[in-house]
Amino acid sequence: MRRKVNKLIVCGAVILTACVSAGPAGDIAQGLSVATSASFCESAMAAIRVEHDTARVNGCEVISKDSFRLTILPEKATDPAGETINNSPWYGFRIDPKQTGQINFQLNYENGTHRYRPKLSYDGVNWQGLPGTKTPRPRPSEFVFRVKMDDRPFYISAQEIFTSNAHDAWTDKIADLPFVTDSIIGRSRNGHPLRMLEVRTEPDVKKPYVVWVGRQHPPEVTGALALIPFTEAVLGDSELSKRFLQHFNVLIIPMINPDGVDAGHWRFNDGGTDLNRDWGPFKQPETRAARDAFMRFETGQDEIAFFLDFHSTWRNLLYTQADEEPTQPPMFARDWLEAVDERLDDKVYPFTREARHNSGKPISKNYMYETYGIAAITYEVGDDTPRDAIDLSARVFAEEMMRLLLKHETGQ
């Protein structure tokens, strides 16, 4: 039995109240210069700006020189079927101080309630949670917090800023590996390239594929933060990785919804659609691109062995098929998560399995299972899970996935 991970230097269960986490670097430079363009609103003490990618504030009222009331709205109140949008109330803005001192913010949500604890960054890379900002239960439609300002501009954001450019910068790094091919499988509604990484260490040898995708829902940053170390563990230089890639190829679509990410949307793409409710209708260009990229498995040109979709929610969990639903490999979800649970101490990364019979909803997990009969799993990471625990656990999940798939493929 492999030793269980029971020690991890983290910021604590009350994460991000005092510690600093490194977010994904991308298009935001270290240090912020004072902006010269018109502000969204301003008082004698500070100016509020919403020009950067992922920013979202829909209304701003100056209450006093040191207090602002900010209105946060979803991109649409309902989806095309008339159902209320998922309560994922993203916000983000920049503050340019005019004076030093304390500044107060009141977030007012319409068609939603407060979910994400405010995080602060002076450079868009290093993030610090604000003390005393734990989300109350039940979640309120109004949330008040304060920040002590010096003379430096700074960002406030629901989660770390992780733009489409930052995704592309990471994708560029992976694409530089000698056995990786980077292709554009389509474009978003706004024309952003939808990129897919194909991993083949022996291009002339036919091997089954393992597939994973990410960032269907814009605010779900922790899922994106898990996809990165998961990928890097599979494509690394460990003996396990080398052996795995001798027997399997890999397809990765790191970011399916770039328009929604950069617009600071709560849930949708630019077409007003929850992309993880469009795997079946395929009315949106982003999901059609993924479907077409996977058509090789339907035609028999290639074989698919496993599918994973990275998301975020309130806590760490994995949505899987029920054990009574036959999959290839058989009982993969049960065996995979049991192996991971043997290694991860609950104090480091507690998680649960939620085995659900196929609901018929047009989500990626259901579509891939129905179409290909494979184990298809949604990997959900908690909003407030410590970032180094996300990294460590994703690598453990990757390692145990490789071991189990190798066992089914080779018998060893």
How are the residues of the chain apportioned to helix, strand and coil, as percentages rounded to the nearest 5? 25, 30, 45
Task: Check the CA dihedral 385-386-389-395 and report its sign.
Answer: positive
Does 72 lie in the same domain as 40?
A: yes
**Is the confidence at residue 3, as pLDDT, over 80?**
no
Report the pLDDT averaged over residues 348-356.
97
Kindly report the average pLDDT of the chain as a whole number. 93
The string of pLDDT tens digits covering residues 202-218 is 999 999 999 999 999 99
pLDDT in tens, 47-80: 999 999 999 999 999 999 999 999 999 999 998 8
> Do residue 342 and residue 378 come from a single domain?
yes
User: Same domain, yes or no, for 116 and 193?
Assistant: no
- Domain containing 76 — which CATH number? 2.60.40.3120
Distance of CA 244 to the CA centre of its chain: 25
Cite the DSSP H helix spans in 302-360: 332-343
Residues with Cβ < 8 Å from 43, sequence gap 6 or more? 62, 64, 65, 66, 67, 68
pLDDT for 328: 92
Structure tokens at 116: 């994400």
Q: Report the pLDDT averaged over residues 376-404.
A: 98
Q: Are residues 186 and 140 in the same domain?
A: no
CB 261 within 8 A of CB 164: yes
**Among residues 118, 137, 157, which one ends one of the domains?**
157
Question: Sorting pLDDT into bands at 50, 70 and 90, what band is 2?
Answer: low
Mean pLDDT of 285-289: 98
Separation between Cα atoms, residue 73 and residue 359, nearest integer Å: 30
Verify that 73 and 194 share a domain, yes or no: no
End-to-end Cα distance, the chain? 16
The per-residue pLDDT for range 294-341, each reduced to its tens digit, is: 999 999 999 999 999 999 999 999 999 999 999 999 999 999 999 999
CA 171 to CA 152: how far, in whole Å?
31
Reply yes or no on whether the pLDDT at 20 is more than 60: no
pLDDT of 112 > 50? The answer is yes
How far is Cα 103 from Cα 71, in angstroms, rounded to an integer? 17
Q: Are residues 266 and 188 in the same domain?
A: yes
Q: Does residue 405 have a pLDDT over 90? A: yes
**pLDDT attached to residue 84:** 87
Residue 20 counted as domain residue: no
Q: Tell me, yes or no, whether 11 lies in a domain.
A: no
- Measure the CA–CA gap between 87 and 174, rounded to whole angstroms: 33
Q: pLDDT value at position 358?
A: 85
Asked whether residue 19 is domain-assigned, the answer is: no
Using one digit for the tens of pLDDT, what is the confidence trace for 207-264?
A: 999 999 999 999 999 999 999 999 999 999 999 999 999 999 999 999 999 999 999 9
* Same domain membership, residue 352 and residue 266: yes
Asked whether residue 5 is domain-assigned, the answer is no
Whether 240 and 383 map to the same domain: the answer is yes
Q: Report the pLDDT averaged over residues 34-39.
A: 71
Final residue of a domain: which of 128, 157, 186? 157
Q: What percent of the chain has pLDDT over 90?
A: 87
Domain end (from 131, 157, 183): 157
Tell me which residue range forms the domain holding 215.
164-410
Domain-embedded: residue 106: yes
Pair 53, 184 in one domain: no
User: The pTM is what?
Assistant: 0.94
Same domain, 153 and 273: no
Of 7 and 293, more confident: 293
Residue 266 included in any domain = yes
Q: What's the pLDDT at 359?
A: 86
The number of domains in the chain is: 2
Q: Are 200 and 179 in contact (CB under 8 A)?
A: yes
**DSSP annotation of 277:** G
Q: What pLDDT, on the 0 to 100 scale, is given for residue 79?
A: 86
Q: Is 336 a member of any domain?
A: yes
Give me the sheet containing 41-42, strands edge to edge. 20-22, 126-129, 119-121, 154-157, 92-97, 46-49, 41-42
Report the DSSP beta bridge partners of residue 155. 94, 121
Tell me what the mean pLDDT of segment 136-155 comes to: 97
User: SS3 sequence, 71-127?
Assistant: EECCCCCECCCCCECCCCCCCEEEEEECCCEEEEEEEEECCCCCCCCCEEECCCCEE
Do 196 and 223 lie in one domain? The reply is yes
Flag whether 205 is in a domain. yes
When pLDDT is averaged across residues 117-137 and rounded to a whole number, the result is 95
Question: What was the pLDDT predicted at 35?
Answer: 63
CATH number, domain with residue 310: 3.40.630.10
* Token output for 21: 């986490």
For residues 214 and 279, membership in a common domain is answered with yes
The pLDDT of residue 24: 73
